[in-house]
Amino acid sequence: MKILYIVHARVSDEYSGTPLIAEQYAKECKNLGWEACILTPSFDNIDFKNQKPEVISNILHISWPAIKNWTLDAFLNNKNRDYKKLQIPFSPDVVHILDWVNMCPSIFTLLKKINVPIIKHVYNFEDFCYFISPIYRKEDNRYCDAPLTSKECCECINDNNFSKLKLLKKIKYLLFTNKKKLKREINAKLKNRNHVIQDQAQNYYDHLIFPSDSFAKYYFSHLGINKKHSIIPNGINIISEKIDKKKSSSLNFIYTGGVSLRKGWKIIESVFYQICSENKYKIKLRIYGDKNKTKKSKLNKFSNIEFFDSFHPKEIDDIMKWADVGIAPSFFETYSRIVREYINYNIVPISTNAFGVPDIIKNNKNGIIIEKPYTENLLKTLEKILKDPYILDNLRKNMNRSEIMSKSEEFKKISNIYKKSVKN
């Protein structure tokens, strides 16, 4: 069997998220004796008409023209006329789209002509939301309700763009009717968006895959149609032996979300500033991601807080062995791999009830789920644990029974969908 994977970047250019999953799947294909090829967008001046697959780490790679303003321009119908005469130098039995961010939408015209099953993995919300995470318009970071309208989204995007302007540009923006002009342009582009998404779901995708059931329900509430789909959690490397957490006079905490709003950075910053300022408890905190930004925060004054860039997956063993408690106060997730990694390494997870989290954490059984207001309730939870660390021991007893999917189990389910799709 030959599988064509479509994703927004190669692992050699971006070591994260869907690029890693695309390479993982491609390697699993090779292990089965199948052929796999990864197609990614490119801004380079490539001879797309005559390109040949490039072999990287024993996997075939090809490119497709990229567009700069993907978040708006990709949903304009006239973009589908671009590059119609291009061909893909790989003949798949199945196409698996992990995401098509930055890709010229003309790819869909060609994929339809190939006439093979198209599987679409829905990892995030970029089809509907300019910001990917539908929480920015709400003061309390609630999810945007369905259905989204072009008018509402236009206001949200416009307010965001205005907030980033310098003072003189803001004045010009307001005085010379630039605001009305830009709003008209954004609104015109957004009007097509829902139509294009509906058309893709109805007429291009044969099967949808979601990492969690709760996210699938949210996605379908916006899509507004029924579609054959599966829920397949993302697999991780399951460690064979339980890692014992030795008792010490200090508790070690870890947070891996950098300065991301949706990952809860402001919550982490506020809560740990208060805890460390009181200086009542012996703790250590390691913050991973966006080191140049996180170390400029008010937490930098504390010697027991360390700042790091995002870690390479090969480093995960050493990093996770250090921690006792992992915190993921996220406003928006579609699965939350990090919560499962925490459990995998016997680190007690503290998270929110974001999509996918309650699928694995049962509150006060094998972890802790905090409710809103997150800052206030995370502080209360941490103080409770710091006063009585034995709470962690009771949670770990149940963590060992948590069911976490492995990478091999995940791909077995994926490959079964390929086989059924080809037969049909």
Q: Write down the pLDDT at residue 136.
A: 77
Each domain of the chain, given as residue ranges in start order, spans 2-131+191-235+407-423, 156-188, 251-399
Which class for 159: exposed (0-12), middle (13-18), buried (19 or more C-beta within 10 A)? Answer: exposed
**CB under 8 Å to 237, separation ≥6 — which residues?**
344, 406, 407
The CA distances from residue 110 to 39, 311, 325, in Å, are 13, 38, 48
At 73, the pLDDT band (50, 70, 90 cuts) reads: confident
Q: Write down the pLDDT at residue 106.
A: 86
Per residue in 97-148, pLDDT tens? 999 999 988 898 889 889 999 999 999 999 999 998 898 777 778 899 898 8
At 307, the pLDDT band (50, 70, 90 cuts) reads: very high
Query: Encoding tokens for residue 385?
Result: 């644990």
Q: Write down the pLDDT at residue 14.
A: 87
Pairing state between β 207-210 and 283-288: unpaired
Among 251, 240, 237, 245, smallest CA distance to 346 is for: 245
Asked if domains 2-131+191-235+407-423 and 251-399 share a fold, the reply is: yes
At 81, the pLDDT band (50, 70, 90 cuts) reads: low
CB 201 within 8 A of CB 97: no
| Domain spanning 2-131+191-235+407-423: CATH 3.40.50.2300 | no
Based on its alpha-carbon atoms, the radius of gyration of the chain, rounded to whole angstroms, reads: 23
For residue 295, count other CB atoms closer than 10 A to its CB.
14
Per residue in 238-273, pLDDT tens? 998 888 887 777 899 999 999 999 999 999 999 999
At 414, the pLDDT band (50, 70, 90 cuts) reads: very high
Q: Is the pLDDT of residue 345 over 90?
A: yes
Task: Average the pLDDT over each of 77-81, 133-137, 171-175, 383-387 and give the range with the smallest value.
Answer: 77-81
pTM: 0.91
Per residue in 176-227, pLDDT tens? 666 777 888 888 888 888 888 989 999 999 999 999 999 999 999 999 888 9
Q: Is the pLDDT of residue 75 over 90?
A: no
**How many Å apart are CA 308 and CA 310, to the nearest integer?**
7
Q: Which CATH architecture has domain 251-399?
A: 3-Layer(aba) Sandwich (3.40)
CB 339 within 8 A of CB 320: no
Share the mean pLDDT of the chain: 91
- Torsion, CA 182, CA 185, CA 186, CA 192, rounded to 10: 170
Residues facing residue 327 across a β-bridge: 350
Encoded amino acid at 318, one letter:
D
What are the φ and ψ backbone dihedral angles of 339, each rounded to 5 degrees?
A: -60, -40
Query: Encoding tokens for residue 249?
Result: 């006079």
**How many Å apart are CA 312 and CA 139, to the nearest integer?**
34
Q: Write down the pLDDT at residue 4.
A: 98
**CB under 8 Å to 43, separation ≥6 — which residues?**
66, 68
- The average pLDDT across 288-294 equals 96
Q: Is the pLDDT of residue 381 over 70?
A: yes
- The average pLDDT across 392-417 equals 94
Which class for 24: exposed (0-12), middle (13-18), buried (19 or more C-beta within 10 A)? Answer: middle
Q: Which residue do the tokens 């064509």 mark?
A: 4
Per-residue buried b or exposed e for 245-271, using 16+ beta carbons within 10 Å of the residue's own CB: beeeeebbbbbbbbbbbbbbbbbbbbb
Task: Average the pLDDT over each of 156-170, 276-290, 374-388 and give the range with the smallest value.
Answer: 156-170
Q: Which helix (H) or strand (E) holds 31?
A: helix 17-31
Percent of the chain residues past pLDDT 70, beyond the cut: 97
Per residue in 143-187, pLDDT tens? 998 988 888 899 888 888 888 888 877 777 676 666 777 888 888
Q: Write down the pLDDT at residue 255.
A: 98
Q: Which long-range contacts (CB under 8 A, 24 or more apart) does 283-287 make?
A: 283/250, 283/251, 283/252, 283/253, 283/386, 284/250, 284/251, 284/252, 284/253, 285/252, 285/253, 285/254, 285/255, 286/252, 286/253, 286/254, 286/255, 286/319, 286/322, 286/323, 287/255, 287/258
Q: Write down the pLDDT at residue 90.
A: 95
- The average pLDDT across 300-329 equals 94
